[in-house]
Structure 1
């Protein structure tokens, strides 16, 4: 097992362990808060501000971290990531209160919404039927396995967004951007689901938890190929192709899951003056988009000079993939 894989597995295991109890604990905290402060109950008109509040709160939690480069850097910040997820669960509960769904805000519904927001299948315990959301209560052992699946998806997304390989200062900024967008995504998913009728039922869901559901995976080969085309264009933007920039791209080529013909084709294109055509479709995924922008900023900084032409190209790409302008500025300001 490689050091990177070992670090990813350790992160996943520790995250799973610390997430046990988060959903019950966060729900109980918010339930107690509203019982003690009934005048603080939000309404549907407050939902956007709730999402914004928690998004920036979570960004602030990780924005000041000093990350260690590499996969073990993530292992060191598991407590902060758990705190971020706890806040996301509280946000979902608040949105549920705004929709008048206090009585159905179970740990299963909270986890199901969180899993749905990360693109994780809910394996039968949260389903849509005739405009209604059906939530089944799985046994404790099944719920714990679902936590492991959810933790595996979080691990996948962090790897896909390339945060694990970043240098300390920029990595913290990137983590803040990732956290803010992730929290907003959870909020939007919660609002969509909780606006519908909710029905809770007993009994384990049908369906099997597959072991491979928790194996961390990175970007797809297509996304990686398109990213490399964009990086090649960026490298040529200032008219000066440096050895350190070529080394950065070569490292990605050597570690990526690309066939040999594609690798050789990309290598040959690096020294050609022409810009490469880029299909930006894979970057409709928010994690892939963040990973692309982060790698572009890292490449632009490799030679110690962040050229204005490089900055302009990054902004153009960010606009093309609908990456928030304020987040681009945060990442390129370092």
Structure 2
């Protein structure tokens, strides 16, 4: 009789995911991309290449089936986040915003589509532009924990598909492509519209007249 793989430790697995999230947003990667005269086209190329790279990496790590599949879940997510953080840095370069790229922006871009409620207060819309709220490292860690809860639920759900050889890997690759494309969409929208200078944060956020961007 076929048995489903045992779930990872209920305490250590979420903790490791939070640590991985914290690590992903802790450092802003450098980029060789410079401001493009045609940023929309350049951004699409960056997004497409990163999505394909993420799909290939996730698909390869998703090949082990059965109990071994559990062991590749976290490495797969970490690899995809590594590719995505580099993509966001490259997109910032394309739009000439490398110098202003922050951990808050990186967190928002990576997790807005998958954990919107956790990152909703990091960015607010001011007319046609965005204001990125600067928060403490402790606050970012709290946000990472909230994201971790959502990501853990998603990971446990996807893990069952790894029980099926090849088919599971195809599904993992497809999701990584989609996920990376969504990260790119958020980043492009953020950089394309422009970001308010940080010094306006206190005055703007204190009014309470603008709703958080979802």
Q: TM-score range by the shorter chain?
A: 0.7 to 0.9
In structure 2, the partner of 1:188 is 185
Q: Deviations over 1:24-76 (max 9, x none)?
A: 43x2332xx45xxx599983321111111001101111212333436x83454
Structure 2 unpaired stretches of 5+ = 1-5, 207-214
Q: Which segment is superposed worse, 39-48 or 57-66? A: 39-48
Secondary structure of the equivalent of 1:17? helix
> What SS does structure 2 have at the residue aligned with 1:102?
coil
For 2:94, the equivalent position in structure 1 comes to: 98
Deviation larger for 107-116 or 162-171: 162-171
Other structure's SS at 2:89 match: helix
Cα distance between partner residues in 1 of 2:149 and 2:71: 13
Report Cα offsets for 1:95-121 as digits up to 9, x if no partner: 122122222211111111222122422
Maintained 8 Å contact 2:35/2:94: no
Which of structures 1 and 2 has the larger relative contact order (alpha carbons within 8 angstroms, sep 6+)? 2
Give the number of the structure whose alpha-carbon radius of gyration is greater.
1
Structure 1 segment 165-244 matched on structure 2, within 5 A: 165-166=160-161, 167=163, 168-199=165-196, 200-201=198-199
Q: 1:7 to 1:180 in 2, by over 3 A?
A: farther
Structure 1: any 5+ residue segments left out of the alignment? 207-334
SS of equivalent residue, structure 1 residue 134: strand
Q: Provide the aligned C-alpha RMSD in A.
A: 2.8
Residue 149 of structure 1 and its aligned partner are, at CA, apart by 2.0
What secondary structure, in the 3-state scheme, does the structure 1 residue paired with 2:96 have? coil
State the secondary structure of the residue aligned to 2:99: helix
- Is 2:155 the partner of 1:164? no
Write the distance in 2 (CA, Å) between the matches of 1:144 and 1:69: 33
Give the C-alpha shift of residue 140 in structure 1.
1.0
Q: Is the 8 A contact 2:109 2:186 kept in 1?
A: yes
Per the alignment, do residues 81 and 87 of structure 1 end up closer, same or farther by CA in structure 2, a change over 3 Å counting?
A: same
8 A Cα contact 1:62 1:175, kept in partner: yes
More helix by share: 1
Q: TM-score, normalised by structure 2?
A: 0.76
What is the alpha-carbon distance in structure 1 between the residues aligned to residue 137 and residue 53 of structure 2? 31
Q: How many residues align?
A: 193
Q: 1:81 aligns with which of 77, 80, 87?
A: 77
TM-score (norm 1): 0.51
Check 1:126–1:52 CA distance in 2 against 1; reply closer, same or farther (3 A cut).
same
